[in-house]
Amino acid sequence: MRWVFLLVAGILLMTPSAFAISVTIDHVDGLYATDTVLSSRPLVFHVRFTNSGVGSPILGHTNGFRVFSPNGAIWTPLSMDTASVGWPDRFDLIWESAGFSVDGAGADTVGFGGARLEGPGIEDGFDALVFTIATQVDAGQDGKTLCLDSCFFIPSGWWQWAFGGSIGKLTPEWDGPHCFTIVADSDGDSVPNFADNCPFTYNHSQEDSDDDGVGDSCDVCPHHPEDDCCNPMWSNNAPQVTSAPSISVAPGETFNYTTTAVDSDCDGTELILSIEDAPSWSVINGVVISGRAECNYADTSFLVIASDGDLADTLIVTVAIDLSNQPPSITDSSDERLIHSGVTFMYYPTIDDPDDPVHSIVYLSYPDWCAIQSDTVVGVAPDSMSVETLAVVASDYCNADTLSFMVRVFVCGDTDGSEAVDIDDVVYLINYIFAGGPAPDPLESGDADCSSNVDIDDVVYLISYIFSSGNPPCDVDGNGEPDC
C-alpha cells in the first residue's frame, strides 16, 4: 500500500495546481491611481513571467494580449518592447513579437512567442519582467474605460507554455483583465482635471500660495485670496482695450463687434466695458454693437471704454462703409427687335457684374402681348403689326443699370403695311423692285420666301399664295410655323 500512496502523491505534485506558472502585470507607468489612467499621457504595461516549481524549463510559449474599450475609447496604436533577458538566445529556433489590428480603436492585439532548439528556454525558477506594451489614450476620452486582457496569440491560436518530458503544455495563470477609468488631463501636468487647481495651465507642483483653491500658475492674484486685483493693495494699472480699432462693412451687410479688454491686475471679468457715440443705425447690447449698413451711409465711428472703476482706457473704432462694389451693366444692344407674327419672343438681360452673381430684375415696360415668367419676358407675337417699348432694370444692392429698346411685330408679306396680305402687296413689291418705289417697312416683311433677299422670287411666292393656295408667306415648308 505504501507504493500506491507514493504514486498518488507524485501525481498530485505534478498537477498544474502545484505549479507557480503565471503571466502578470508587474506595474503600469502613467497611471494616476491604481484604477485610473490619464488621457494624452504615455501608458506602459510591464509584463512578468513566473516559472516556478515545474522542474522543467519553458521550451516554447505563445502569449497574446489585447487592448480594448467597452465604451468606445480611442488610443494610439500599440508598441512592443522586450526586456533584456536574451530572448533570441533562449528561443533560438524562433522568436517573434507581432501586432495585429493595431489601429487604436475597437481592439488591438499583440503577441509574443518563441520556441527553442538548443537554447535554454526559460529556466525553472525564472521570475522577471519580460516585455512591455505601450500606448496612449487620446484626448477627449474622459469617463471611458481602457482594458488590457489576455488573448490567443494569433499565429497559433493558443495561450500556453510548452515544457519537456511528460509535462507537455500548460496554461499559465493570468491576473487580468486590467481595466482603468480614463480621466482628462488637459494641460498635461499629470494631474487630472478634477483634481487640478489649474486644469488648463501646466502646474505639476500645484502650488497655491494664497490657499484660495486656484493654483499660482492661473491665479490672477496668486498672493491675494479675495481676487480683487482690479483694486489692488499696491499701485493700480489701467486696463487696455484689445478689440479691433477698425471694421469694414459693405452696404446690405451686418457687422457685429465685441468689445474686449485686459488688465494686468485681474482676469478682466471685473472690468466695466461700455460703448458710446455709436451711429444711429446701430444697436448696442452689452459689450456688442451691431448694425446693417445701407448705400447712402458714410464712414463713421464709435467709442469703446474699459474701466476698472478707477482707471480707464478708450479706443475710437472706425467703421468704414465699403463702396467698392461695381455696378451691374446690361450688355444687350438697344437696337429694335423685329418679331415675326406668330413667333415666340423671349428676353432676359445679359448682365456683366464682377462682384455680384445675383441681381434684381424689374421690367418698367414690355409688350402687352407678353408676360413675366421667372424674370423673363415671354410672349407669342400677335397677327397684327405693333411697336412697343421694353425697358428693364438690373440692380445689385446699391447700383443699377437700365436698357430700353423697341419690339416691333410685322406680318410677313404685308409689304404695304395694311395688315393684310393681298394683291396690293404684290403691286407694292413690284413697284419697289422695278420702279424704285418705297421699300417695305420693315424690309423683312417683303422676304416672303425666306431667302434673306427681297426680289422677284418673293413676288412669285406671294402670287402663288394669293391665287393658287400656295404656302403662306415665310412658311416655306407649310407646317404652320414661320421659317424666318
Q: For cell 501646466, what's the residue?
A: 202
Domain boundaries, the chain: 20-183, 240-321, 329-410
**Mean pLDDT computed over every residue of the chain:** 88
pLDDT beyond 60 at 314: yes
Distance, in Å, from the CA atom of 119 to the CA atom of 60, rounded to the nearest integer, reads 11
Q: Check residue 438 and report its DSSP letter.
A: P
Helix (H, G, I), strand (E, B) or coil at 290: strand
pLDDT beyond 60 at 4: no
Q: How many CB atoms lie within 10 A of CB 478?
A: 10
Q: Residue 103: its pLDDT value, please?
A: 65
Residue 48: phi and psi, rounded to 5, are -115, 135
Q: Which three cell numbers stand for residue 175?
A: 491576473
Q: 3-state DSSP: the chain helix, strand, coil percent, rounded to 5?
A: 10, 40, 50
Distance, in Å, from the CA atom of 449 to the CA atom of 471, rounded to the nearest integer, reads 9
Maximal C-alpha separation, the chain: 155
Distance, in Å, from the CA atom of 273 to the CA atom of 275, rounded to the nearest integer, reads 7
pLDDT beyond 70 at 18: no
Query: Pairing mode, if any, of strands 386-395 and 400-410?
Result: antiparallel
Contact 179, 45 (CB under 8 A): no
Distance, in Å, from the CA atom of 234 to the CA atom of 227, rounded to the nearest integer, reads 13
What's domain 240-321's superfamily in CATH? Immunoglobulins (2.60.40.10)
The answer to whether 240-321 and 329-410 have equal CATH topology is: yes
pLDDT beyond 90 at 320: yes
pLDDT beyond 50 at 6: no
Q: Is the dihedral of CA 157, 159, 163, 165 positive or negative?
A: negative
pLDDT beyond 80 at 316: yes
B/e letters for 12-22, b = 16+ CB within 10 Å, e = fewer, are eeeeeeebebe
Taking only the tens place, the pLDDT of each residue in 170-179 is 999 999 999 9
pLDDT beyond 70 at 10: no
Q: For cell 423673363, what's the residue?
A: 376
Q: Residue 227: its pLDDT value, please?
A: 60
pTM of the complete model: 0.46
pLDDT beyond 60 at 234: no
Q: Residue 197: its pLDDT value, please?
A: 92
Contact 260, 243 (CB under 8 A): yes
| 261 vs 158, higher pLDDT | 261
Taking only Cα atoms into account, the Rg of the chain, rounded to an integer number of angstroms, comes to 47
Protein fold of 20-183 = Immunoglobulin-like (2.60.40)
> What DSSP string describes 126-185?
EEEEEEEEEEEBPTT-TT-EEEEEEE-BTTTTB-EEEESTT--EE--EE---EEEEEE--
478-481 own/partner pairs: CB under 8 Å, 24+ apart: 481/342
CB-based burial of residue 477 (10 Å sphere; 0-12 exposed, 13-18 middle, 19+ buried)?
exposed
Question: H or E element: which one contains 111?
Answer: strand 107-115
pLDDT beyond 70 at 15: no
**Which residues are CB-neighbours of 403 under 8 A, at least 6 positions away?**
330, 332, 334, 349, 391, 392
Query: From the centroid of its chain, how far is CA 166?
Result: 65
Q: Residue 281: its pLDDT value, please?
A: 96
Instruction: List 109's β-bridge partners, or say none.
Output: 66, 100
Taking only the tens place, the pLDDT of each residue in 373-387 is 999 999 999 989 999
Asked: is 329-410 a CATH 3.40.50.150 domain? The reply is no
Q: Residue 380: its pLDDT value, please?
A: 96
The helix-helix angle for 423-435 and 456-468 (nearest 10°) equals 170
Contact 466, 426 (CB under 8 A): yes
Q: Residue 8: its pLDDT value, please?
A: 31
The mean pLDDT of 302-311, rounded to a whole number, is 90
Instruction: List 409's β-bridge partners, or say none.
Output: 339, 386
Torsion of CA 288, 289, 291, 295, to 10 degrees: -140
